[in-house]
Amino acid sequence: MTQNVADSADSRDLVITRVLRAPRAALWRAWSEPELLKEWWCPRPWQTEVVAFDLRPGGAFHTFMKGPDGGSSDNPGSFLEVVPQSRLVFTSLLTAGWRPTRPMLGFTAVITMEDEGEGSRYTARVMHQDEEGRATHEQYGFFDGWNSAITQLDEFAYSLR
């Protein structure tokens, strides 16, 4: 089950809610170990390099994605909240140590994981400064890209259980 919402309770948010096969502990492991994160983080055939990963509020969360055509995407940011196996909040608006930055696309993502049956309910809520930012992110392929990565996460985490 996939639910994509462009206009949720707040019209600046993009939301994906899915029920995944993987249990919450396996999802958390895939999220919280940098060597595992790079296995699923961006849609294939792109690859992820984890530049910095300090899983604590104010800690660096910096990935660099490389495409087969030579394209790339540098994504410095930081973690804002970490609740093991339950909630993870990160942003592109701050780098490590709460240092403000001016990203190409500013957002804060709230990832939640809850038990559901033998799997998990996984919700990604991506908040933007304004409706224009939300629309830009959606036009960049938010739903296709994030859903592809979530599918990869589910498949990878399921193999870890």
pLDDT of residue 161: 84
Tell the CATH topology of 2-160: Alpha-D-Glucose-1,6-Bisphosphate; Chain A, domain 4 (3.30.530)
Residue ranges covered by each domain of the chain: 2-160
Listed residue (80, 131, 79, 73) closest to 103, CA to CA? 73
* CA distances, 114 to each of 21, 29, 40, 83, 126 (Å): 12, 14, 20, 12, 18
pLDDT of residue 9: 72
Listed residue (158, 159, 151) closest to 21, CA to CA? 158
Listed residue (32, 29, 2, 34) closest to 157, CA to CA? 29
pLDDT of residue 7: 45
Beta bridge partners of 111: 88, 124
Q: Considering Cα of 47, then 148, then 157, then 33, what sign does the dihedral take?
A: positive
Asked whether 12 and 132 are in contact (CB, 8 A), the reply is no
Spans in the chain with pLDDT lower than 50: 6-7
